[in-house]
């Protein structure tokens, strides 16, 4: 059996420079600034803000988001929601079609535990499955998911949205809660047009739409352009990442998460190898041709990953180049995936560890 001391990766007061790697680290000041920046924007425009916790999966960070003014949280799976309900959160929206007896039974238990649970549906199959179980029990609030251009889940037309809303409202055990969408970035006009048509169709049926939930960090600072939305959901903003920098959402200085890695080999003048591979950085390219941005070495390219090794192409770098034993700070392409690769997250201020938090919902993807 593993000795408990083996699991201790860091403690308050340790220096980041002394940490064993690879290890994701979170800058406390950047974290707080990101939370406050986005909440201030939402407050300025009179929008409720519902942070998506899939980015961090840590209850303590959701507490900070709520303390700043967020109205409830967004989870992606029932298992994530269970963790956050256990931590005391009572207003949770799960933005994923929930199908199958096991999941629905867990959902029903969760619905009796917290006061304001909400889910989404984009088909009669999903709605009827929920209705069959919740009939005669505490009603479950269901929002219609709409595809406004994001190309994932969602009904394709306003007519379908209104029809599904009527089916939810008519079902014993279900309550129609509104509509939800995750659009592609820079499409506020199209999103507003779709939502407006849905609201008009609902009004003709004598139905109100309590929640109009728009979403996404990439769409974050155009949220105020979707005038019909009552709330916005976003997750990545709390850490930010390389993708968000490219999209102009933030700068490198706003990225709170870095993956700390050590150069373990310099086989040639133009190649370095680090101890962070796909199990630390993820193989999620997000449209990039390499696997992360190395702070201080902008011309270096993490050109390939195996499970435990990251290979860095130094051919375009001027001297000095990274040396064996040097620790590198890497801005990942996608922070949300990194969170799901580690049991704990190390927080620091000025290079000194402030706390270590368990990634409580890690691996809960069903």
Distance separating alpha carbons of residues 50 and 14, to the nearest angstrom: 34
pLDDT of residue 5: 43
pLDDT score at 8: 54
β-pairing, 231-234 with 116-121?
unpaired
pLDDT at 4: 44
Predicted confidence at residue 89, as pLDDT, reads 98
The fold for domain 47-240 equals: TIM Barrel (3.20.20)
The whole-number pLDDT of residue 9 equals 73
Q: What are the domain boundaries of the chain?
A: 14-25+249-358, 47-240
> Quick one: CA torsion of 98, 104, 107, 112, rounded to 10 degrees?
140
Burial class (CB in 10 A: 0-12, 13-18, 19+), 37: middle
Query: In 41-112, where do the E strands start and end?
Result: 48-51, 73-75, 91-94
**Strand stretches in the chain, DSSP E:** 23-27, 48-51, 73-75, 91-94, 116-121, 140-146, 174-181, 211-215, 231-234, 257-268, 271-274, 293-294, 301-305, 310-313, 327-331, 344-349, 352-358
The CB density around residue 241, as the number of other CB atoms within 10 Å, is: 29
Per the rule left: phi > 0, alpha: psi between -120 and 50, beta: everything else, 287 is left
pLDDT of residue 176: 98
**Residue closest to 218 by CA, chosen among 238, 239, 193, 243:** 243
Pairing of strands 174-181, 211-215: parallel
pLDDT averaged over consecutive 10-residue blocks of the chain (366 residues)? 52 95 98 98 98 98 98 97 98 97 97 97 98 95 96 96 98 98 94 98 97 93 96 97 94 98 98 98 93 97 97 96 98 97 97 97 89
Who contacts 361 (Cβ-Cβ below 8 Å, separation ≥6)? 53, 57, 58, 79, 80, 83, 84
- From residue 130, alpha-carbon distances to 122, 263, 310 in Å are 12, 52, 45
What is the CATH code for 14-25+249-358?
A: 2.40.37.20
Q: State the Cα angle at 233 between 155 and 150, rounded to 5°.
A: 35
The residues that bridge with 84 in the sheet, in sequence order, are none
């Amino acid at each position: 059996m593993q000795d408990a001391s083996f699991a201790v990766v860091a403690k308050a007061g340790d220096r980041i420079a002394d940490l064993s790697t690879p290890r994701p680290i979170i800058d406390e000041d950047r974290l707080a600034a990101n939370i406050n920046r986005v909440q201030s924007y939402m407050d300025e425009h009179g929008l409720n803000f519902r942070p998506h916790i899939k980015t961090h999966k840590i209850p303590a960070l959701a507490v900070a988001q709520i303390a700043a003014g967020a109205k409830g949280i967004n989870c992606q799976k029932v298992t994530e929601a269970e963790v956050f309900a256990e931590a005391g959160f009572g207003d949770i929206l799960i933005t994923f079609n929930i199908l199958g007896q096991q999941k629905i039974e867990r959902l029903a238990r969760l619905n009796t535990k917290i006061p304001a649970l909400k889910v989404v549906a984009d088909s009669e199959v999903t709605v009827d499955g929920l209705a069959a179980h919740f009939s005669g029990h505490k009603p479950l609030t269901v929002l219609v998911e709409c595809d406004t251009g994001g190309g994932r889940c969602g009904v394709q037309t306003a007519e379908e949205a209104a029809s599904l809303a009527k089916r939810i409202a008519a079902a014993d055990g279900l309550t129609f809660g509104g509509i939800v969408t995750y659009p592609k970035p820079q499409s506020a006009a199209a999103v507003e047009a779709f939502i407006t048509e849905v609201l008009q169709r609902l009004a003709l049926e004598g139905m109100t739409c309590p929640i109009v939930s728009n979403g996404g960090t990439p769409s974050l600072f155009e949220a105020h352009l979707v005038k019909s939305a009552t709330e916005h959901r976003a997750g990545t903003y709390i850490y930010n990442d390389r993708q968000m920098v490219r999209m102009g959402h933030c700068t490198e200085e706003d990225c709170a998460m870095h993956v700390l890695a050590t150069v373990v080999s310099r086989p040639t003048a133009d190649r370095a190898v680090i101890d962070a591979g796909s199990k630390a950085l993820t193989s999620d390219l997000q449209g990039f041709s390499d696997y992360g941005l190395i702070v201080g070495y902008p011309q270096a390219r993490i050109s390939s990953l195996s499970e435990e090794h990251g290979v860095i192409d130094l051919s375009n770098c001027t001297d000095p180049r990274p040396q064996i034993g040097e620790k590198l700070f890497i801005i990942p392409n996608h922070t949300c995936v990194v969170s799901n690769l580690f049991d704990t997250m190390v927080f620091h201020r000025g290079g000194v560890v402030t706390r270590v938090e368990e990634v409580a919902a890690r691996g809960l993807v069903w």
